[in-house]
Amino acid sequence: MALANTVENAAKPKQNPRPGGLAGLLALDRPLVMGVLNVTPDSFSDGGKFIDPTAAIIHAGAMAEQGADILDIGAESTRPYGGMQPVSVDEELSRLKSVLPAVVKLGVPVSIDTIKAPIAAWALDQGASIVNDVWGLQRDPEMAALVAKRSVPVIVMHNRDEADAGIDIVADVMAFFERSLDIAKRAGIARDKIVLDPGIGFGKTPEQSLTCIARLAEFKRFGLPLLIGASRKRFINTVTPSAPDQRIGGSISAHLLAVKNGAAIVRAHDVAETVQAFRVAAAIEAAR
pLDDT at 45: 55
| Residues pairing with 111 in the sheet | 72, 130
Q: Which domains does the chain have, with CATH numbers?
A: 19-286 (3.20.20.20)
Residues with a known catalytic role: 233, 267
pLDDT at 80: 60
pLDDT per position in the chain (288 positions), as tens? 334 343 333 333 343 345 568 999 999 989 999 999 999 886 655 556 778 999 999 999 999 999 999 999 999 977 565 556 789 999 999 999 999 999 999 999 999 999 999 999 999 999 999 999 999 999 999 999 999 999 999 999 999 999 999 999 999 999 999 999 999 999 999 999 999 999 999 999 999 999 999 999 999 999 999 999 999 999 999 999 999 999 999 999 999 999 999 999 999 999 999 999 999 999 999 999
pLDDT at 3: 41
For the whole model, what pTM was predicted?
0.91
| Residues pairing with 263 in the sheet | 226
Measured CA to CA, the distance from residue 43 to residue 65 in angstroms comes to: 23
pLDDT at 16: 39
Measured CA to CA, the distance from residue 269 to residue 52 in angstroms comes to: 17
Measured CA to CA, the distance from residue 22 to residue 48 in angstroms comes to: 28
pLDDT at 47: 56
| Residues 6+ positions from 256 with CB-CB distance below 8 Å | 3, 277, 278, 281
Residue 267 phi/psi, 5° resolution?
A: -105, 115
Nearest to 269 by CA among 233, 237, 236: 233
